[in-house]
Structure 1
Amino acid sequence: MPQSLFGRLTLILVIGMLAAQFASLWLHMDERQMLMQHGATHIAGLPSRFWLHLSLTLTTVLFVSVVAVRLVTRPIQRLAEAADAFGKDIDAPSLEESGPAEIRRAAEAFNRMQDRLRRLIAERSRALAAVSHDLRTPLTRLRLRAELVDDESLRQQINADIDDMQAMVEATLAYLRGLNESEPVQSIDIAALVSSIVADEQALGRPVTLIDTPAAHYPGRLSILKRAIANLVDNAVKYGHAAYLGISDTSDALRIVVEDDGPGIPEPDLGRVVEPYVRLETSRSRETGGVGLGLAVARDAARLHGGELRLENRAGGGLRATLILPR
């Protein structure tokens, strides 16, 4: 059975035509037997014009079926392409509202949904800007008031709590801004990007190693991909003691692999650890466990480019995080 709607509709039409032709053949055979029973001995078989008629009918029906089914399925294909483009770019152009009545109604509904989502994201961006300002102001006041506390130990504890709150606020705002970022797509030298990240990490004295693998340029959003790769490297160093970066470039996808030497992640947690604010480290310390947004940012960056983030435990120990970006 064909997988596409085009193939299935064409198959149905062809089967229907063949069924009609074989019914016609059966009628010709029945007529031939009746004539022979009445003494018409000159009928030796089916007339050649029947086979000519069958061939012409088959050719005509196939041609008409292909054209008709193509006209029916083309608007559906355009709708699927528009939905896929909208999933990657919130500012993708609206779908053309043309074609049969049903297709026009579907296109109108899709465009209304697209407009509502754009307004929702715009409103969230405005709320985000307001929250960013409103949260920083009381934190600053708290820090100033903490300086009035005479107890040195208590003052340090208060400042530490304020630092944790500010770090969480900054991380959350950065995460939300990253989801809405409308950075234009550009051709990225992936090998140079990964090399620069490794060089920055090594300059800080962190155990990060690059497995030098050439890769062709990739059309993507530079800052988002850089942030995603940096988060994967940071997680590998923090929890796996070292990070090893490699690039696998094929005709179907670009894969950026980050491996570590840590204990890995329990299999039941591999799926949920990429969700925002999920932390497997239970100390709740910001220094050891972070906020829980690093893998969520990397996953969203992959999805923004139509790809995925895949996590798996290595056979010899450690975790392998693969950022898969389709070509």
Structure 2
Amino acid sequence: MRFRLWPKSLIGQLVFAVAVMLFVAQAVNFALLARGMKQQMLAHGGGMTVARIIDAVDRYERGLIEPQRQRGDPRERRRQRREPRVWTGDAAPPVPPGASAMPELSDYVATLLGDANVDARDVKAWVLPQRPRFGRTELPGRTAIVVAEVGGRYYAVRGRLPASGNRLQGFLVWQTLVLYLLLLIPIMIIAWRAAAPLRDLTRAARSNPAVRDAIPIDEEGPSDVRDLIRAFNAYRARIATMLADKDRMLGAVGHDLRTPLASLRVRVEGVEDDRLRDKMIASIDEMTAMLTDILALARTGAGNEVQERIELSALVCELAEDYVEQGKNVAVDNVVQAAVVARPMLLRRALRNLIDNGVTYGSRARLSVRLVADQAQVVVADDGPGLTDEQIRALVEPFARGEQSRNRATGGAGLGLSIAREIAAGEGGALSLANGAQGGLEAVIALPIA
């Protein structure tokens, strides 16, 4: 699975951006504080070391350097515990065991000695490791030894450096955690307050626009989000008004057209020429059927039918039995148990349109129900020669027919697939067409599982 660092949601992006920026700011703060503490440590330890070197050089020139006592002398050990040790000799002292070089301290001491007009050469510094004493470590800080050659003589000073930045690191960690709590929690609350209405707005925008009784979304969240929701509610209200006006207009058109067609058919019945009368009646019936299909397509999604839980296996078997009773070659192949939530009459109409196409253009239709991921698919397959990819893409458009590559038998007005597509979309699903693996065309209505 591909890892995605940048989150998709508004809350995730805000929290992630603030967390990263806060971490960068704390890292810069830590670097500056660590540098300042390092300069402070060098100034404290290096300054004391330079002062003792200058004092030792002055005392040596005046002959006031005390002789070194033996290391085993108790008085010497007590004196070493009370104050740093100053050593002088003609040769450089050996490097203490376990000591590590500290070039930044040696450079700092050499600079200070140069500023004090002391001609110091070969300045070196070491740091001694911590040693346990009486069951505990030494006092906070580290022991440093600085050796400098002044006037052909070596002077070694032993002193203490301030403690390292471990406490500073712990302080910054706790400070960062506190800042995260103080900043991220309010940002998450603000982002959630803005994202929750946006999620409701997204769900409403994805719903079927033909639903007339859609409840307006509550105007919540920040002012700009409330303005957006208010504009969406007004926009959806205008759409509902336009759809209602369209339904009234179509009703009037259907009534005004059906009435003269019915009157015309009554008059045609009086034509004496049987052949001419049959052709005229067939033309009137074709016009009536086309008008019915056009009105059905225009009104798809409208109406007051309530969605119900539908068992697709029972619905498919019932439809197949109805067609068998009419003497049509319709059968059920493979059916699995699956339930969807849809409007029964509209779903039946969509499936009947697909079955009629299969029987008309492929001489037979085979029905099946299958589960794919979180969708239930109703498949209507025929045994026709199939269609090209271009014809498949155009076939679901109104008044489009695929008769050029299929059976030349007379079909409808080319609205059956368009009506089925609109019904499937209105129920939260989709209609797709594809050539079958064994030939023929497969029409699939995919709906979310209940």
TM-score by length of 2: 0.68
Q: CA 1:238 to 1:133, structure 2 compared with 1: closer, same or farther past 3 Å?
A: same
1:172 aligned onto 2:177: no
Aligned to 1:44: 164
Tell which structure's C-alpha radius of gyration is larger. 2
Question: Where do residues 19-30 of structure 1 align in structure 2 (5 Å cutoff)?
Answer: 19-30=24-35
Shift in Å, 1:36: 2.7
Shift in Å, 1:286: 11
Question: Separation in 1 of the partners of 2:312 and 2:385?
Answer: 29
Shift in Å, 1:72: 2.2
The one-letter amino acid paired with 2:237 is D
The answer to which of 220-229 and 308-317 deviates more is 308-317
Question: Separation in 1 of the partners of 2:283 and 2:417?
Answer: 24
The answer to which of 211-220 and 272-281 deviates more is 211-220
Deviations 1:287-313 (A, max 9, x none): 622111111111111101111101111
Structure 2 runs not aligned, ≥5 long: 1-5, 46-160
CA contact 1:89–1:182 (8 Å) conserved in 2: no
Over the aligned positions, Cα root-mean-square deviation in angstroms equals: 2.3
Question: Separation in 2 of the partners of 1:315 and 1:217?
Answer: 27
Aligned to 1:254: 376
The one-letter amino acid paired with 1:294 is G
Question: Where do residues 266-281 of structure 1 align in structure 2 (5 Å cutoff)?
Answer: 266-281=388-403
The answer to which of 202-211 and 55-64 deviates more is 55-64
Question: Separation in 1 of the partners of 2:351 and 2:262?
Answer: 32
Aligned to 1:92: 214
CA contact 1:258–1:320 (8 Å) conserved in 2: yes
Q: Which has the higher contact order (CA 8 A, sep 6+)?
A: 1
Which of 279, 289, 304 is matched with 1:182 structurally? 304
Question: Separation in 2 of the partners of 1:129 and 1:247?
Answer: 36
The one-letter amino acid paired with 1:54 is T
Question: Separation in 1 of the partners of 2:226 and 2:408?
Answer: 53
Structure 1 runs not aligned, ≥5 long: none
Instruction: Give the 3-state SS of the residue equivalent to 1:311 in structure 2.
Output: strand
TM-score by length of 1: 0.92
The one-letter amino acid paired with 1:43 is A
Q: CA 1:286 to 1:119, structure 2 compared with 1: closer, same or farther past 3 Å?
A: farther
What percent identity do the matched residue pairs reach?
35
Higher helix share: 1
1:10 aligned onto 2:15: yes
Shift in Å, 1:197: 0.2
Higher strand share: 2
Deviations 1:3-22 (A, max 9, x none): 22222122111111111111
CA contact 2:382–2:440 (8 Å) conserved in 1: yes
